[in-house]
Structure 1
Amino acid sequence: PQSGLVSVDGMDVRAADPVDVRNRFAWVSQEAPLFSGSALENIRFGREAATLEEARAVAAEAQALGFIDALPEGFDTPLGERGKSLSGG
């Protein structure tokens, strides 16, 4: 398009404070930044000594617990490098 308007709830975003607009929006990539290994190993990447209970708590905080529990092997499901075994949708 050569012209148009971006609005949120009918308000032109150009009329809003740019800092406020940036603070209210996020970009989520379809590309999964995952490593080859299980869901649990990916969560433990930053802290290898994390227990399963701690990993479950982190997954719950990230709102991923239901998704991980629904995987064929739960936290033991192999994800593949960059999440190649997961659907991007």
Structure 2
Amino acid sequence: MLPSVIYVFVAYLLLVSGQKKEEKKEEIEFVCPEGAGNGNFADPVTCRRFYQCVDNYPYLNRCPSGLYFDDVNKLCTFKTEARCGPLPTTI
């Protein structure tokens, strides 16, 4: 009797943890900037990823482990060198 209770409990935990992971997968749909042409663009959610726009279609890419996307130089670099997130603009 005790092993069946354990199996039910483990199954419940797996079900609950799976639901939480699905909720976290909600992402913003990225749209390539109009008129910008092909190129690399920062992910609006995290500096660990970027989109490569080719013919107005965004391809999601991830920076290698330990690197972050630099939205100025348009490449992955060390965290201390990466300029990511909302960038100041000049008029």
TM-score higher than 0.5 here? Answer: no
Q: Larger C-alpha radius of gyration, 1 or 2?
A: 2
TM normalised by structure 2 equals 0.23
Structure with the bigger RCO (C-alpha within 8 Å, sep 6+) is 1
Q: Which has the higher helix share?
A: 1
TM normalised by structure 1 equals 0.23
